[in-house]
């Protein structure tokens, strides 16, 4: 193994630890997973680390997922961002750039391209990024020796620089799973066979990792059963909320406003919400004049969720309106429009959603429209103003909506403050700070041993 370069030292003679943070989605990306990456990198920088981020060029987001420039402006000023070239057919939306072969035989071309992308790393769309990532990681380490690598996934190719720098220079790495690689968090099924390339590579990555982070306990336990020899290095690092989105209290009148903020993907049960909403308005006079506002992108990518687009007219007929995406800058003012919140999630024991923590921080009543077994239920179990649907039937959803409407009408300022105080346990800093402190201790001990 090559000799590892000595850490660089600042003018005072002390060396800051250098973190190489790898995140395909980093500001100005507007994807839901970007908030964890943004907050984590900022937290390390605030704690006194030198932080270098490997991510993709801004153009990847402007041409596909969309951007949130207000979030980009809040990246810690000390963070160095290295934008690594990235090319994938899935993000080539300009038909003028397509080859004649692709234009005339797109299905065959896609099959061939998928095999090409996964040649260096077993992940469709993103696997081809591996060589560029390794080159970038090597250059960063040569310019400013790295003490620790943290990759956040998905995409899972984000783990590559950690493995590469460990094998080449002995640098430790941490794996941060925002989702899961082999686990379908909605169905609970394993996605690959034990003999697959993905299974082999994940086992190798987890076996060599200094620590592995998961967003909730169910996902951690699933992986602990798969990798019992590594389970002692597994940690739950929940998403949490970044700052309280609480705003001035609305005066609740006859027009109650329910709000949903989040990505509206195909997994979100809008049909169940609509059916329950109709039923609730039949049963409760308090909801006859109420309305629902939906805020967020209509998918995780730049392509809208057509099932929701097709329902917009029907939704409008039932006083449910769609208002588009919300930037980080405007999130507080949007929450200020609501009297109660709708937590509408796809079904799955392993599904939490980052929004559940932000919802709790508002102190507003929350109506949960999701399967009771979702991991989000574990988060809100003791919440002062939580009203979960017993199931996704129209009557069960209606009951949750009616109860939350009654709570919104009756909630006092003291009750809302108590709910906000209860939610303080979910501040993101309470999740990240202990882990960062532990990693700082590890890095310091490792340096002292050199």
Concatenating the DSSP letter of every residue in 139-184 gives HHHHHS--SEEEEEESSGGGGHHHHHHHHHH---EEEEESS-SSB-
Q: What is the pLDDT of residue 302?
A: 57
Give pLDDT, residue 13: 38
Q: What pLDDT is stored for residue 252 in this prediction?
A: 56
Find the length of the chain: 450
Backbone phi and psi for residue 388, each to the nearest 5 degrees, phi listed first? -85, 145
* 120 phi, psi to nearest 5 deg: -95, -20
Nearest-Å Rg of the Cα atoms of the chain is 23
What percent of the chain clears pLDDT 70, i.e. is strictly above it? 85
Same fold yes or no, 18-240+428-449 and 257-426: yes
Would you state the pLDDT for residue 308?
Answer: 72
> Which of residues 301 and 381 earns the better pLDDT score?
381
Q: How far apart are CA 28 and CA 69, in angstroms?
A: 5
**pLDDT higher than 50, residue 167:** yes
Instruction: Say if residues 419 and 385 touch (Cβ distance below 8 Å).
Output: yes
CATH number for 257-426: choose from 3.30.365.10, 1.20.1260.10, 3.40.50.2000, 3.10.129.10.
3.40.50.2000
Residue 111: predicted pLDDT:
55
Report whether pLDDT(14) > 60.
Answer: no
Distance between the two ends of the chain, CA-based, in angstroms? 15
- Give residue 82's pLDDT: 98
Q: Pairing relation of β-strands 50-55 and 18-22?
A: parallel
Helix/strand/coil for 367: strand
User: Residue 280 and residue 329: Cα distance in Å, rounded?
Assistant: 33
Q: How, if at all, do strands 386-388 and 366-369 pair?
A: parallel
Confidence (pLDDT) at 95:
58
pLDDT of residue 38: 95
* 49-76 core/surface letters (b: 16 or more CB in 10 A; e: else): bbbbbbbbebebbeebbebbeebbeebe
pLDDT at 281: 95
Residue 4: pLDDT above 50?
no
pLDDT, residue 445, reads: 93
What's 190's DSSP letter?
Answer: B
Return the minimum-mean-pLDDT range out of 69-78, 86-95, 229-238, 387-396: 86-95
Residue 223 reports pLDDT greater than 70: yes
pLDDT of residue 211: 98
Mean pLDDT across 136-148: 97
Q: Which residue from 292, 293, 291 is spatially nearest to 325, judged by alpha carbons?
A: 293
Whether the predicted pLDDT of 27 surpasses 60: yes
pLDDT value of position 7: 45
Crossing angle (nearest 10°) for helices 130-143 and 160-169: 50
Mean of pLDDT values over 57-82: 89
**pLDDT for 306 beyond 80:** no
Give the burial class of 9: count Cβ atoms within 10 A of its Cβ; 0-12 exposed, 13-18 middle, 19 or more buried: exposed
Mean pLDDT, rounded, of the chain:
87
Residue 12 has what pLDDT? 35
Provide the pLDDT confidence category of residue 261 given band limits of 50, 70 and 90.
Answer: very high
Phi, psi of 261, rounded to the nearest 5 degrees: -125, 125
Where residue 249 falls among pLDDT bands split at 50, 70, 90?
Answer: low
Residue 153: which pLDDT band, with cuts at 50, 70 and 90? very high
Q: What is the mean pLDDT of residues 342-351?
A: 88
Count CB-CB contacts under 10 A for residue 396.
18
Q: What is the pLDDT of residue 98?
A: 56
* pLDDT higher than threshold 50 for residue 282: yes
Class of domain 18-240+428-449: alpha beta
CA distance 326 to 108: 38
Residues in contact with 274: Cβ distance below 8 Å, sequence separation at least 6, in sequence order = 311, 314, 315, 318, 320
- Residue-level pLDDT at 61: 86
pLDDT band at 67 (very low <50, low <70, confident <90, very high): confident
pLDDT at 147: 97
Q: Which segment of 54-68, 203-217, 279-293 scores lowest on mean pLDDT?
A: 54-68
Q: What is the pTM of this model?
A: 0.85
Q: Where are the domains of the chain?
A: 18-240+428-449, 257-426
The pLDDT, as a whole number, for residue 305 is 62
Residue 351, pLDDT score = 84
Question: How many Cα atoms sit within 13 Å of 25 on the Cβ side?
Answer: 23
pLDDT tier, 119 (very low <50, low <70, confident <90, very high otherwise): low
Assess whether pLDDT exceeds 70 at residue 260: yes
pLDDT class for 1, splitting at 50, 70, 90? very low
């Amino acid at each position: 193994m090559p000799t590892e370069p000595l850490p660089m030292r600042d003018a005072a003679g002390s060396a800051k630890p250098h973190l190489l943070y790898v995140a395909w989605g980093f500001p100005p990306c507007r994807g839901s997973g970007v908030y964890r990456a943004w907050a984590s990198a900022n937290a390390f920088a605030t704690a006194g680390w030198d932080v270098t981020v490997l991510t993709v060029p801004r153009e990847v987001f402007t041409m596909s997922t969309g951007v949130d420039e207000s979030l980009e402006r809040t990246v810690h000023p000390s963070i160095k961002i290295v934008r690594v070239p990235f090319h994938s057919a899935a993000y080539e939306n300009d038909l003028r750039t397509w080859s004649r072969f692709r234009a005339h035989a797109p299905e065959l071309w896609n099959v061939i391209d998928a095999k090409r992308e996964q040649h260096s790393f077993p992940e469709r769309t993103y696997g081809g990024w591996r060589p560029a990532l390794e080159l970038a990681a090597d250059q960063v380490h040569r310019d400013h020796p790295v003490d620790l690598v943290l990759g956040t996934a998905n995409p899972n190719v984000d783990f590559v620089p950690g493995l590469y720098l460990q094998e080449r220079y002995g640098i430790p790495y941490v794996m941060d799973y925002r989702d899961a690689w082999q686990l379908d968090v909605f169905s609970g099924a394993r996605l690959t066979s034990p003999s697959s390339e993905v299974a082999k590579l994940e086992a190798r990555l987890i076996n060599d990792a200094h620590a592995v982070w998961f967003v909730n306990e169910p996902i951690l336990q699933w992986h602990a059963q798969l990798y019992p020899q590594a389970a002692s290095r597994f940690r739950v690092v929940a998403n949490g909320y970044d700052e309280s989105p609480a705003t001035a209290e609305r005066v609740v009148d006859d027009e109650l406003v329910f709000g949903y903020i989040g990505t509206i993907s195909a997994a979100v049960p809008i049909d169940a919400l609509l059916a329950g909403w109709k039923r609730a308005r039949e049963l409760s006079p308090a909801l006859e004049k109420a309305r629902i506002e939906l805020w967020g992108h209509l998918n995780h990518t730049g392509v809208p969720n057509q099932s929701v687009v097709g329902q917009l007219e029907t939704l409008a007929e039932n006083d449910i309106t769609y208002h588009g995406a919300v930037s980080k800058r405007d999130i507080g003012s949007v929450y200020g429009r609501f009297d109660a919140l709708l937590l509408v999630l796809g079904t799955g024991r392993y599904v939490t959603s980052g929004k559940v923590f932000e919802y709790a921080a508002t102190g507003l009543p929350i109506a949960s429209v999701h399967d009771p077994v979702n991991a989000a239920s574990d988060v809100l179990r003791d919440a002062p103003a939580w009203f979960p649907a017993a199931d996704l039937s129209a009557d069960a959803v209606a009951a949750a909506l009616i109860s939350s409407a009654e709570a919104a009408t009756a909630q006092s300022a003291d009750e809302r403050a108590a709910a906000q105080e209860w939610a303080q346990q979910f501040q993101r800093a309470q999740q990240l700070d202990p882990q960062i402190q532990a990693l700082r201790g590890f890095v310091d001990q490792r340096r002292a041993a050199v």
